[in-house]
Amino acid sequence: MTPVIRLVRRNARDPRTLALAAALLLLLAAVVVPRLPVTRDGVRVLVVVDITGSMNTRDYIHDGAPVSRLTVAKGALRDLLSRLPCPSHLGLALFSERVPFLLFEPVEVCRDYGAVAGAVDAVDWREGWEGDSHIAEGIFGAIEMAQGLDSDLVFITDGQETPPLPLSGGPTFGGKAGAVRGLIVGAGGYGLAPIPKFDDRGNEIGFWGANDVQHENHFGPPPPDAESRPGYQARNAPFGAEIPTGTEHLSSVREPYLRALAGQTGLAYAHLDDGRHLARALTAAATPRPAKGMADVRWVPGALALAAVLAAYGLFPARYPRGFLRFVKAAGRWP
């Protein structure tokens, strides 16, 4: 055996030599490793945004200033766009009166992010075509629309029916519960807040007062307890003679009502906070739509190679000071 070979043999036993050899092998692996085919779960969702008057209520606080529910909803949606796994598809519709109005069918949000984000920014309460909001009918219509588009549903609303539901109850869901998955997102605070009022040209002119709105819906049959109401008369005053009073001019998120609607239709319910919460709730409720993709895994051997080189330079000391070991042991005993 020549002295050179003996030298190399002896040096090869050094752990730092092994670390460098490992680094070299890992780097070669990083060069040749192919992209791995993976399936990613995207979502395909139709987002319906309630743009009726009560969505202008400013009962969210952002940076110390009150902001409207619609502003928060738009901000959360924009944030959601960037959080959705690629490839995900999102369509947008507006809700006012009793039907959702489809702006565009679901498009790929990663590729067309700018266009979709621009459309979300452009959502405005002034686009509302009528002042009423028959929310239950809107949700049922939206479910049908989402089914037609083969997508899940996110319906953002505060749940305030205008006019109030008839005393005989609201409409019932005719479809199959759970056929469309998704979320009803309740927008608004839990305390009552005044609803801004606007003139014909869209300028704000104060708030809705108690006498401006209908507090009770006298459509349909009177409630069973109508006879006990003051001034009741079967023919002339079947709902009683008193002018109904209430808090319909104020608004809060009608969570129990929205939860009931969600239960009836097989959707999940979430409160509107921000994009992160919305994304989490949506991924939990949505149908996973696996799509084929390619994953670049070269960073794994690359990172290991870096660690090996650093180890060769002794960045991770082989012997730790005694105090450190005592600390680790103590930390291990920690309950």
* Closest to other proteins by CB, 28 or 328: 28
Which one of 10, 176, 218, 326 is in contact with other proteins (CB under 8 A)?
10
The encoded tokens of residue 124 equal 């405005």
Residue 144 φ/ψ, nearest 5 degrees = -65, -40
Which residue stretches of the chain are H helix?
3-12, 15-32, 69-83, 113-121, 135-148, 255-265, 275-285, 299-312, 322-333
Decide: is 103 part of the binding site for other proteins (CB under 8 A).
yes
**At its nearest, how many Å lie between other proteins and the CB of residue 154?**
17
Strands 36-42 and 65-67: unpaired
Q: What's the closest the beta carbon of residue 180 comes to other proteins, in angstroms?
A: 17
Regarding 324 and contact with other proteins (CB under 8 A), the answer is no
Among 219, 299, 320, 324, binds other proteins (CB under 8 A): 299
> Could you tell me which stretch among 95-103, 164-172, 210-218, 257-265 binds other proteins (CB under 8 A)?
95-103
Candidates 64, 65, 126, 205; binder of other proteins (CB under 8 A) is: 126
Q: Is residue 14 a contact point for other proteins (CB under 8 A)?
A: yes
Nearer to other proteins (CB atom), residue 120 or residue 285: 120
Secondary structure element (H or E) that encloses residue 157, with its range: strand 152-157
Which tokens is 61 given?
């606080």
Of 63 and 199, the one with the shorter C-beta distance to other proteins is 199
Stretch that binds other proteins, among 12-20, 172-180, 250-258, 280-288 (CB under 8 A): 12-20
Question: What letter represents residue 224's amino acid?
Answer: P
Q: Is 86 in the site for other proteins (CB under 8 A)?
A: no
Is 86 within 8 Å of 40 (Cβ atoms)? yes
Q: Which of 167, 268, 297, 309 is the binder for other proteins (CB under 8 A)?
A: 309
Which helix H or strand E contains 271, and what residues bound it?
Answer: strand 268-271
Among 39, 61, 62, 127, binds other proteins (CB under 8 A): 127
**b/e code 260-290 from CB counts within 10 Å (16+ = b):** ebbebbbbbbbbbeebebbbebbbebbeebe
Integer Cα distance of 27 and 29 in angstroms: 5
Q: Which is nearer to other proteins, 198 or 269 (CB)?
A: 198
- Contact of 45 with 90, CB cutoff 8 Å: yes
Q: Which stretch, 15-23, 55-63, 238-246, 285-293, contacts other proteins (CB under 8 A)?
A: 15-23
Interactions with other proteins, residue window 240-279 (CB under 8 A): none
Calpha distance 132→80 (Å, rounded): 28
SS3 state of residue 297? coil
Torsion sign over Cα 157, 115, 76, 194:
negative
Q: Could you tell me if 255 and 159 are in contact, meaning their C-beta atoms sit under 8 angstroms apart?
A: yes
Residue 132 φ then ψ, to 5°: -65, 155
Our finding on whether 320 is near other proteins (CB under 8 A) is no
Q: Residue 139 CB, nearest distance to other proteins (Å)?
A: 17
Interface with other proteins by CB under 8 A: which residues? 7-8, 10-12, 14, 16-17, 19-21, 23-24, 27-28, 30-31, 91, 94, 99, 101-108, 111-112, 114-116, 118-119, 121-122, 124, 126-130, 296, 298-299, 302-303, 305-306, 309-310, 312-315
